[in-house]
């Protein structure tokens, strides 16, 4: 059987694409998601800017009902990692990690982005042993202890606030003296009693012993080194686009991407290749928000419905 539409990735973009594609009349739609559906927002301790959702809610709680809603309209979920998407004539091939291949007339790629490493000494060696990119997952290990947070964007500041509720003290280490984060979040951080701002400073080295991280040395703009003793170091320095499934055997991309590897789409989420759509954090100029990723998914699905109708019925 050839699928009407294959959706790669099950975050807000992929799940919304699944909802609109199935509810909009496509018969055979499968979402390929390597883990539990929900996407990267499930790592967030709180989300306060999803319209209509008020009160304190975690990313996990927000996403919980989304898969069930899609499945009600017939979306199938295959829990598998997609290695590559290719096109042969009018048919796409979805190459999966177990070596099997699924065919589809249209594809919506929604593989999102992944946390970046900052690149300081010891970061890779101590990753998972005190260095983390997920406060919701690992914050509890540092209950009543001091931790360091690296970064100055929305993620770093929001997660610093979350950690400040669990930990005795949070050192927020940022390489400049102004933040990229929303002004309201900056105000909350500045007001927090147990967050110390360590500005104009970059991590030099995280060091540890056989139990894990012991501390982190940071260097300020004057070249002075400060040794911060903290068993937990949380790195929130942005994300890389997950575009690996679009890379072909000869190293070229299946469709056009920009210098950062973001997929180039038009306002209908169409890529440069007919029948291939991209949605969410992985596309150019993405606002990197749950609401916009969901909106992209809906737009892409409507495009896929028209494309498949044109291909099969005209
Ligand atoms: P993602 O959520 O990244 O989902 C992509 C999915 O694809 C993942 O589930 C992944 O497992 C899957 N996948 C990837 N590659 C493959 C493959 N090869 N095969 C199969 N599956 C694959 N946004 C807000 O609006 N408000 C917030 O408060 C907010 N807070 C945030 C806090 C944190 C800590 C983080 C990290 C992000 C936050 N964001 C927030 C941003 C928001 O999470 C993203 O913009 C949104 O999740 C993007 O959705 P997406 O569907 O494009 O991608
Ligand atoms: P981001 O906005 O790209 O910020 C990354 C931060 O890390 C920047 O402050 C950057 O410093 C710093 N940085 C980058 N590389 C570094 C390095 N090697 N060493 C030290 N510091 C480094 O990333 P993000 O905070 O993860 O946010 C990603 C996107 O998701 C954004 O669009 C954001 O708005 C969105 N998001 C939104 C919400 C929300 O709406 N509530 C929450 C989370 C994320 P400089 O500032 O000096 O460049």
Q: Give the per-residue pLDDT at 306.
A: 98
Residue 279: what pLDDT?
A: 98
Nearest CA residue ID for atom 43, ligand 1: 41
DSSP, collapsed to helix, strand or coil, labels residue 68 as helix
Report the share of the chain in percent with pLDDT over 70: 100
- pLDDT, tens only, 17-28: 999 999 999 999
Question: What ligand is nearest to the CA atom of residue 218?
Answer: 2
Prediction pTM value: 0.83
* Residue at a domain's end among 200, 235, 270: 235
70 and 174 assigned to the same domain:
no
CA distances from 237 to 86, 165, 216 (A): 32, 21, 16
Is residue 126 assigned to a domain?
Answer: no
Give the CATH number for residue 263.
Answer: 3.50.50.60
Write down the pLDDT at residue 105: 98
Shared-domain flag, residues 156 and 169: yes
202 and 110 in a common domain: no
122 is a domain residue: no
Residue 174 CA, ligand 2 centroid: distance in Å:
10
Residue 168 and residue 213 in one domain: yes
Ligand 1 in reach of 289 Cβ (< 6 A): yes
153 and 71 co-located in one domain = no
Query: How large is the average pLDDT for residues 103-113?
Result: 97
Structure confidence by residue, pLDDT tens digits, 274-288: 999 999 999 998 988
Q: Is residue 123 part of a domain?
A: no
Q: Where a domain ends, among 235, 268, 303?
A: 235
Q: Are residues 218 and 252 in the same domain?
A: no
Q: Classify residue 108: in a domain, yes or no.
A: yes
Give the strands of the sheet with 195-198, arranged side by side. 131-132, 232-235, 146-150, 169-173, 195-198
Express each pLDDT in 135-189 by its tens digit: 877 899 899 999 999 999 999 999 999 999 999 999 999 999 999 999 999 999 9
Average pLDDT over residues 267-275: 98
27 and 94 part of one domain: yes
Are 251 and 106 part of one and the same domain? yes
- Residue nearest ligand 2's atom 32 by CA: 288
For residue 55, the model assigns a pLDDT of: 83
Do 198 and 153 share a structural domain?
Answer: yes
User: Based on the structure, what is the number of domains in the chain?
Assistant: 2
* Three-state secondary-structure class, residue 116: coil
Q: What is the pLDDT of residue 145?
A: 98
> 176 C-alpha to center of ligand 2: Å?
12
**Are 215 and 291 within one domain?**
no
Q: What is the pLDDT of residue 136?
A: 79
Structural domain contains residue 125: no
Q: What is the pLDDT of residue 46?
A: 77
Nearest protein CA to atom 33 of ligand 2, as residue = 154
Residues 140 and 111 placed together within one structural domain of the fold: no
Q: What confidence category does residue 223 fall into, taking pLDDT thresholds of 50, 70 and 90?
A: very high
Is there a contact between 101 and 93 (Cβ–Cβ < 8 Å)? yes
Give the model confidence (pLDDT) of 55-92 as tens digits.
Answer: 888 899 999 999 999 999 999 999 999 999 999 999 99
Distance of CA 303 to the CA centre of its chain: 23
To test the pocket of ligand 2, the residue of 149, 150, 153, 204 to mutate (highest count of ligand atoms within 8 Å of its CB) is 153
In a domain? residue 21:
yes
Do 200 and 60 belong together in one domain? Answer: no
End residue of a domain, out of 168, 200, 235:
235
Q: In what order do the strands lie in the sheet with 201-209?
A: 201-209, 212-220, 225-229
| Any domain includes 44 | yes
Task: Say how far apart CA 120 and CA 138 lie, in whole Å.
Answer: 20
Mean pLDDT for all residues in the chain? 96
pLDDT-derived band at 120 (thresholds 50, 70, 90) equals very high
What is the predicted pLDDT for the residue at 128?
A: 83
227, containing H or E segment: strand 225-229
Judge whether 154 lies within some domain.
yes
Which residues are annotated as catalytic?
134, 137-138
Categorize the per-residue pLDDT at 134 as very low, low, confident or very high, splitting at 50, 70 and 90. Answer: confident
Distances (CA, A) of 127 to 13, 120, 235, 308: 29, 12, 10, 45
CB 108 within 8 A of CB 7: yes
Domain containing 27 equals 3-115+239-313
């Amino acid at each position: 059987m050839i699928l009407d539409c294959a959706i790669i990735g099950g975050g807000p973009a992929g799940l919304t694409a699944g909802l609109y594609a199935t509810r909009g009349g496509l018969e055979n739609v499968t979402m390929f998601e390597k883990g539990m559906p929900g996407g990267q927002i499930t790592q967030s301790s709180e989300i306060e800017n999803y319209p209509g959702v008020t009160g304190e809610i975690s990313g996990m709680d927000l996403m919980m009902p989304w898969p069930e809603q899609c499945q009600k309209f017939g979306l199938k979920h295959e829990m598998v990692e997609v290695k590559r998407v290719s096109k042969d004539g009018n048919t796409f091939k979805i190459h999966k990690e177990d070596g099997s291949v699924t065919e589809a007339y249209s594809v919506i790629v929604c593989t999102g982005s992944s946390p970046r490493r900052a690149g300081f000494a010891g970061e890779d060696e101590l990753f998972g042993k005190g260095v983390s990119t997920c406060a919701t997952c690992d914050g509890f290990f540092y209950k009543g202890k001091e931790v360091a947070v690296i970064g100055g964007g929305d993620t770093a500041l929001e997660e610093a606030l979350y950690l400040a509720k669990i930990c005795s003290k949070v050192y927020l280490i940022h390489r400049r003296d102004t933040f990229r984060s929303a002004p309201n979040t900056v105000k909350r951080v500045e007001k927090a009693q147990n967050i110390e701002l360590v500005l104009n400073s970059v991590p030099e080295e995280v060091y540890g012993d056989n139990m894990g991280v012991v501390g982190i040395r940071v260097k300020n703009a004057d070249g002075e080194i400060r040794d911060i003793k903290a068993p937990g170091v949380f790195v929130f320095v942005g994300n890389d686009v997950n575009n690996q499934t679009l890379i072909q055997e000869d190293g070229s991309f299946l469709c056009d991407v920009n210098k950062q590897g973001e997929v180039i789409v038009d306002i209908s989420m169409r890529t440069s290749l007919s029948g291939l759509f991209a949605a969410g954090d992985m596309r150019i100029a993405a606002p990197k928000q749950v609401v916009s990723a969901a909106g992209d998914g809906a737009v892409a699905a409507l495009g896929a419905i028209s494309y498949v109708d044109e291909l099969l019925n005209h």
